[in-house]
Each structure stands twice: as C-alpha cells, then as structure tokens.
Amino acid sequence: MNDHLHYLARHAVAGKLSRRDFMAKAAALGFSAAAAGTLLTTEARAAGPQKGGTMRIGLQGGSTTDSLDPALSTNQVTLMLVRLWGEPLVELNDEGGLDGKVAESYEASADAKIWTFKVRKGITFSNGQSVTAEDVAKTLERHSGEDTKSGALGIMRGIKNISTEGDNVIVELDTPNADLPYLMADYHLVIQPGGGMDDPSAAIGTGPYILKDVDMGVRIVAEKNPNYWGDIGHAETIEMIVINDNTARVAALQSGQVDMIDRVPPRTAKLVARAPNINVHSTSGPGHYVFIMHCDTAPFNNKDLRLALKYGINRQEMVDKVLNGFGSVGNDSPINSSYPMFTAVEQREFDPEKAMHHLKASGHEGEVLLRTSDNSFPGAPDAAALFQQSCATAGINLNVKREPNDGYWSEVWNTQPFCTSYWGGRPTQDQMFTTAYLSSADWNDTRFKNEQFDQLLLAARAELDTAKRTQMYADMGEIQRDEGGLICPMFNDFVDATSDRLDGWVENAKGFALMNSYSPLKMWVKA
Amino acid sequence: MPLIIKLLAQRIALGLILLLLVSGLIFAGTMILPGDVAQSILGQSATPEALENLRAELGLNDPPLQRYIQWLGGAMTGDLGTALTSGADITASIAKRLSNTLFLAFWAAIIAVPLAIFLGLLAVRFKDRWPDKAISAVTLASISIPEFLIGYVLMYLIAVKLRWFPSVAMINDSMSLGDKLSAIALPVTVLTLVVLAHMMRMTRAAILNVMQSAYIETAELKGLNGFQVIFRHAFPNAIAPIVNVVMLNLAYLVVGVVVIEVVFVYPGMGQYLVDHVSKRDVPVVQACGLIFAAVYIGLNMVADVVAILSNPRLRHPK
C-alpha cells in the first residue's frame, strides 16, 4: 500500500491527525473507507498497547449477594473480578494452549501421575508479600477436601497429595491425568497468600489490578497494581458496572457510558453493530443449549424414542431463529471445534421419516412432556415451540410445559426426565465428560450410564499420545450421539461489543466470553 | 390543646401496634417458605453434620416464638443481623440502599407533588375546557403506559440520541450533588410521569367536590376571582383526600420502583430485595419487609395526622 498513507495512518494513531481527517485524506488518495479503516487498525496494533485511561465495562450476571471469595465465584462479574486481582497457576492462551502465570513452568512424570509446578521467581502479592510454593499448596488445599464450598471441588477430587519442595509444588494424582494443567487454569484456583484460608474474601493476589471500591452487584472500581510482573493490564483504572437488563446494557454502550459489554442479545446484535462507533464481536465457544432426557426413566429409557426425538429436531432452524445466526449446529454431543482434540463425526440432520420410523420401533404412544423456562437458556420457550412443530411433522406429540424461572434449577433441571437447559462448556473434553457424562458424575443430567464410554474416558485421561486420545474422544462422541440422552441442537456464540475507544480485541479467543474474560486486561484505551 | 395531642398519640400508638402485627406476619411468612435455610446456604453437597452445625449456629432449632422475640429485639435496637449469602451486616447495607432509594424518591416527589397539585388546580379552573382535557389526556396516557416502556423510550431519545443525561443512573459517594442529579434525571422523569396522574386526578376530583358547596358560591358572589376561590377556599377543605393520595404515591416511590431501578441500573432497595429473595436470604427479606411496612404505615399515619389537623370536625370528635 501507499507509503504516504502508512505515514498518515501512523500520524492518526499517534493522535496528530484526527480519524476523520485521515479518512478524508485516504479517500483523496483513492482508498476505500474500509481499506483505510483496516490500515488504521493495523497501525494501531503495530504501535502496541497504550497505557493509562479508564476502561468502563457493563456486565450481566452480578448480584448483591455475590462474594469476593474466588471459591464461590459463579457468574461473569465475579469471574472477571477474580481476573483483575488474581491469577491461577497457568492460563489458557488465545490459541487454546497454556501460558504460565504464577507457575513459570510445569512438567509431568512419565505416567502423568505426578505433576510439578515451578513457582515464578520474584513475584509478589498486592500486599507486598512474596509468593511461595507454600501459598500455592495451601490454595489448592482450600479448594479440595469434603468440607470446601469451592466451585472447583469437582476437578480437585482426583488429587491425592500436594507437597512443596523449594520453589516447586508437587501434585500427586490417584489416576493419571494428562489434562491436569488445564484443570489448574480454572478461575476459582487463583493463588492467594496463605491459600486465602484466613481471609478468603480479601481479594489479595498477584493480578494486574487492585480493587479500590467494591459494591457487589452494583459497581467495582480497580486501579493498576504498580508491582504487577506481567505485561497485561493497560488501562490505569477499570470500572465495572453490573447492568443486568439487556436493553439498559446496550443503551449504556450506545450512549458512551461504558466501553464494553457482554451478552448482546442475538436478536438485536445486528442492529447494534450498525452504529459507527460500536464493534460487535461474535466468538464461537463451547457453550451450548440442550434438551436433556433421563436415559434411565420411562419413556426415555427407550433408545428408539430418544432417536426419534433426535431426528425430529431441526437444528439449523434453531440456529437461525433462536440464535439469529450467532452460533453453530450441534450434533448431540457437548463437544465442538472449540475443544483441542476435536474430530467431526457425521452430522445428524432433521429427518422426519427416520423420526417416524424410530417412533414406531419404540412402541411409544401418546404425548412426550418437555419442560422449559425462560431462564433455562435465552429463547428456550421459543426453541421448545420450534421443537414441538418439527416433531409434529414426524408424528411425535410433543407437549411443552412452561415452568417458572424461580426454582427451575432445583425443581426441574436434573430432577424431571425431559427439560431444556444449557452448559457453558469446559476447556477440555475430559472435564466436560467428567462433569456431566461419566456414570458417577454429580451433574449427570442425562442419567447416561455407559460402561464403554466410562472406560474410554479413563483411558483417554491417562493417554499422553495426542493422536490416540483424539481417536478415543471421536469414538466417545459417536457413542454419545447414538446412545446418549443429550439433544444438542446448537452451540451459542458469545456476542460481546466494544466501543471504538478501545483497541486490542482478539478474534475467536478460546475460553469464556470477552476473550476468556481477559478483555479488560488485554485491551487498551486509545489515546 | 391536649385533645389534639391525645389524638395524635392514639394514632401513633395504633401505627406502632400495626407495625408489630405486620412484623409477626413477615416472620411467619418467611418461616413457611419452602426450603431449609441451612441447606440453601451450604448447597447440595452439604453433609448432614455440617447442616446440623449450621442450624445450631443460626439458632434454627430454637422454638419459633423465641426466635421471633430475638429477631424483633434486634430489629428494635437497629441490629438486623447478617446476610446469609455474603455475611455482610444487613443494617449497614440497607442504610446505604435505603438512602439511595430515598434520594431518588425525594427528588421525584419534589417535582411530582407540586406539579400534580398545580395541574389539578389548573384543571379545575379550566374545567371541561381544553387545558383540563389536555392535562387529563397526557397524565392518563403516561400512567397507562408501562413504566419500563416509558423508561426505554426516554433512554433511547435522551441518553442515546441526544446524550443530555446518562442512561445508567449509577450514583456513589464521590459524586457531587450536581452529578448525582444529572445521573438520576431520567428515572426521576419516569417516576414523575408515573405518579402524576393519580395525584392530579385526585386533586381535581376533591376540589370539584368542594366547589359545589354554598360557601364557594358566597366567595364567588363576594367578587373573588377563580384562582383565589380555589386556592383560599376550596383547596384547604380538600386537603385531606389529596394528602392521602400523595402519601400513597410517596410510599410507592419508596417501595415500588424495582422496575425503574432495574431499567436505569439504580442501586436502590428494590434490586437489593430481589437479589436476596432469589437466593432465599431470609434475614434480608425480613429486614426489607419490615422497612417497607414501616414506610407504608408511617406515611399513612402522616396522612391521617394531616387530615385531623386540617379538619376541625375531626379535631373535636363528639
């Protein structure tokens, strides 16, 4: 491209030329607005992150009842809070691999049963204390053990012993687990001084920010930690505001009161994107919306009936109408291409004839009752109505019962044999399957008990050869698609939005929404 | 005037007895809510021993009457206990939220009450002519539209398009009064529109009722003009029903604005209560219930007292 234009773009980025003037000059040189805009972005990236400024974020999901204890963190707001002040041992990077945080490096014994994490030298907590291997061991202990309330307990169960040796923390497992480092990236497991045993809610950690003003469920202000070791955390001040109402959150971004929001409603995302100063980002992720059947409860203990329902759902229609295109079709397995060792198995399509065939083979007569509620996933009652209609074309009499939001997760989900629900996904196949599809899983919400599946899961966990593991996970996906109680019509994209005051968005980062909740740390405020 | 003092004392005593009865109802109501408090704190994976320990710690094994008396004693000395979910001191959290709610209600009332009464008087003065019809049409329309819709429309026009006032009405201690007023401009406008019609119509009706009286005719005959008649002779005699409806609306501004709080992200009592109800945080729900009841009873008591003071017939009962 034209040298002069590059020169102008650098000036524009440095603030010596306004964006408008730059665009006018670029147009005079014969470049389209789109090309000039792209160039401006590239130059801004090349100039590197800018320091300082205040980043204001509007988030959904916070409540007055939230706790600062990372063990009790459950929603987007508390997750992002933890990211601000603390760090786990390792963290998922944008490509799906792992970067060291509090741990400088890690290694496994040959059988993947003993893992050694080396604590980073010279880093301190925000209270000035140095980070020791002892702190790490105590943190892991606090999240294990039967009396902990930690959300990470499920992934800590396989740990037999935690010990320290100089700067090293040694984790011994009951059974081999090739994915242990991924488990250590769990957001509950941020390293706290003394493991946070004395004061779990002190919010003292090694993160890039220090919390200044905390009003849970309302507003949180954080200032840059001057002693932070790493190179993320560019803004001087971060202000997080809890805005649970969708319309209010979008309006706050449009009126320039916040620079970044999560959960743009898919229905209006395209309208929001039309504003010139707003960028809407759609990121595919592991989150999915599901219809779950209990494989051990009549009538869903009949494999043919389960197959009839699986063939009776129109997946593409749901992606188009419920997600408004912000998502991808599912294949009755909780795994998609966002997982590291994913192989696609043959896609199941909507097929009324096969559905009718399996319905006949099942011998089931009369209606099938599906329970749903507004909060089981956004648009769940609509999705249930679509399912009802597509089933009707296959001769299946699906009856939809609307349940109240209040109490849905205690009274309906994991209790009633057929209902709508959602999963946020996990970073690895092993974690997802262990959480919800292993015969003995606490949250086996499809009551899926398959011996072959369990054996494959344990074998894959111990397997360090990636090719063999990939094949095992493909086999498990097939078993689940054909035998399981999960109807997974769609994977929902994360739809976030930022104003053009910010720069540094990374497309398709792995993990949770908002660049795995790292956008406040990795993005910057443009000067 | 000892008689008046006796009357007022009676009213206040009645209010307190009512509040005591309500506190009993609130306590009983939260007792019969389904679900065990200890279970909801510790979650599904709680062991029976842990549940038993927590029940003992919270005093859940004591007889209900004893717990009620303890709770009431605490509440009267300003100690409302601690929240089960976050462990925060309820009195401190509520004080902050309540002061926010009162701040919003105060400014909404400062605008809405005089405006409603003025519009009511105006409507009476121009009864059945176009100002009367215009005022009625506009206020009735604004009370008929759901408040969240008015909120969204104003948000779109004033915050997003014109950018005069912010859409997020977030206030905190570090803001100046001017900043705070700018932040709450939109919710105050919506609340004013919502409560205006009720008070305006009541003012109009009450004064029109009085306007039929013989002494109004006398005032007119002695040559007073329309506004003087309404203001000096009709309004003082219509004050009791107007104050009643004003107080009901003030109570609404304090206890009933959760939708506005959600739409404008205002950190008031409504959102605080809803968050805790959905987590079954019973002590907070009880405390909020008690405060809301006190506000309602208190404001109605004020209305009664004003009615008594403004009406000689009530001042000297037979």
Residue pLDDT, tens place only, A282-300: 999 899 999 999 999 989 9
Q: What is the DSSP letter of A196?
A: G
A329-353: per-residue pLDDT in tens? 999 999 998 888 888 888 999 999 9
Q: What's the total number of domains in chain B?
A: 2
CA distance A444 to A457: 15
Residue that is written with structure tokens 């916040």 in the block: A258
In this model, does residue A505 exceed pLDDT 90?
yes
A226-250: per-residue pLDDT in tens? 999 999 999 999 999 999 999 999 9
CA distance B155 to A462: 56
If pLDDT is split at 50, 70 and 90, which confidence band does A206 have? very high
Assigned domain for B187 exists: yes
Assigned domain for B252 exists: yes
B191-221: per-residue pLDDT in tens? 999 999 999 999 999 989 888 889 888 988 9
B272-303: per-residue pLDDT in tens? 998 888 777 888 988 999 999 999 999 999 99
B225 and B94 within one domain: yes
Tell me if A248 and B43 make a contact (CB, 8 A cut-off).
no
CB contacts of B172 in chain A (<8 Å) are 213, 215, 219
Closest Cβ–Cβ partner in A213, A216, A406 for B278: A406
What stretch of H or E contains A36?
Answer: helix A33-47
In this model, does residue B271 exceed pLDDT 60?
yes
B291 and B197 within one domain: yes
> SS3 breakdown of chain A: % helix, strand, coil, rounded to 5?
35, 20, 45
B145 and B185 within one domain: yes
Give, rounded to a whole angstrom, the gap between the first and last alpha carbons of chain A.
Answer: 25
- Which position has the higher pLDDT, B134 or A7? B134
Structural domain range at position B62: 2-76
Assigned domain for B318 exists: no
B97 and B146 within one domain: yes
Q: Which CATH number is B298's domain given?
A: 1.10.3720.10
B266 and B135 within one domain: yes
Assigned domain for B315 exists: no
B65 and B206 within one domain: no
* End-of-domain residue from the set B51, B76, B101: B76
Tell me if B267 and A146 make a contact (CB, 8 A cut-off).
no
B102 and B71 within one domain: no
CA distance A23 to A29: 10
Give, rounded to a whole angstrom, the gap between the first and last alpha carbons of chain B.
Answer: 16
Average pLDDT over residues A124-141: 95
B267 and B198 within one domain: yes
CA B180 from centre of chain: 20
Q: Is-contact A260 A520, C-beta < 8 A?
A: yes
Mean pLDDT estimate for chain A: 89
Q: Quick check: helix, strand or coil at residue A318? A: helix
B286 and B149 within one domain: yes
* End-of-domain residue from the set B19, B44, B76: B76
Tell me if B155 and A63 make a contact (CB, 8 A cut-off).
no
Phi and psi (nearest 5°) for B214? -65, -35
* Token pair in block for residue A394: 């296959």
Q: Is-contact A358 A311, C-beta < 8 A?
A: yes
Q: Which residues of B touch A (CB under 8 A)?
A: 42-43, 45, 47, 50, 83, 85-87, 93, 152, 155-156, 159-160, 163, 166-168, 170, 172, 262-265, 267, 271-272, 275-276, 278-279, 281
**What pLDDT is recorded for position A1?**
44
Half-sphere CA count of A275, side-chain side, radius 13 A: 20
Assigned domain for B316 exists: no
Looking at chain A, the whole-number percentage of residues with pLDDT higher than 90 is 68
Average pLDDT over residues A481-498: 94
CB contacts of A243 in chain B (<8 Å) are 168, 265
Beta strands A168-173 and A114-119 are: antiparallel
Assigned domain for B111 exists: yes
* End-of-domain residue from the set B12, B43, B76: B76
Assigned domain for B83 exists: no
Average pLDDT over residues A150-174: 89
HEC readout, chain B: CHHHHHHHHHHHHHHHHHHHHHHHHHHHHHHCCCCCHHHHHHCCCCCHHHHHHHHHHHCCCCCHHHHHHHHHHHHHCCCCCECCCCCCEHHHHHHHHHHHHHHHHHHHHHHHHHHHHHHHHHHHHCCCCHHHHHHHHHHHHHHHCCHHHHHHHHHHHHHHHCCCCCCCCCCCCCCCHHHHHHHCHHHHHHHHHHHHHHHHHHHHHHHHHHHCCHHHHHHHHCCCCHHHHHHHHHHHHCHHHHHHHHHHHHHHHHHCCHHHHHHCCCCCHHHHHHHHHHCCCHHHHHHHHHHHHHHHHHHHHHHHHHHHHHCHHHHCCC
B11 and B158 within one domain: no
Q: Quick check: helix, strand or coil at residue A294? A: coil
Say what the pTM is.
0.85
Average pLDDT over residues A10-14: 55
Q: Quick check: helix, strand or coil at residue A182? A: helix
B188 and B114 within one domain: yes
If pLDDT is split at 50, 70 and 90, which confidence band does A25 have? low
Phi and psi (nearest 5°) for B138? -65, -45
Tell me if B263 and A67 make a contact (CB, 8 A cut-off).
no
CB contacts of B82 in chain A (<8 Å) are none
B237 and B131 within one domain: yes
Average pLDDT over residues A477-498: 94
Q: ipTM score here?
A: 0.84
Out of A109-123, A181-195, B30-44, pick the least confident: B30-44
Beta strand spans in A146-192 (E)? 159-165, 168-173
* Token pair in block for residue B100: 């926010």
Assigned domain for B173 exists: yes
The residue of B167, B182, B186, B276 whose CB has the most chain A CBs within 10 angstroms, and thus the best one to mutate to test that interface, is B167
If pLDDT is split at 50, 70 and 90, which confidence band does B310 have? confident
Mean pLDDT estimate for chain B: 87
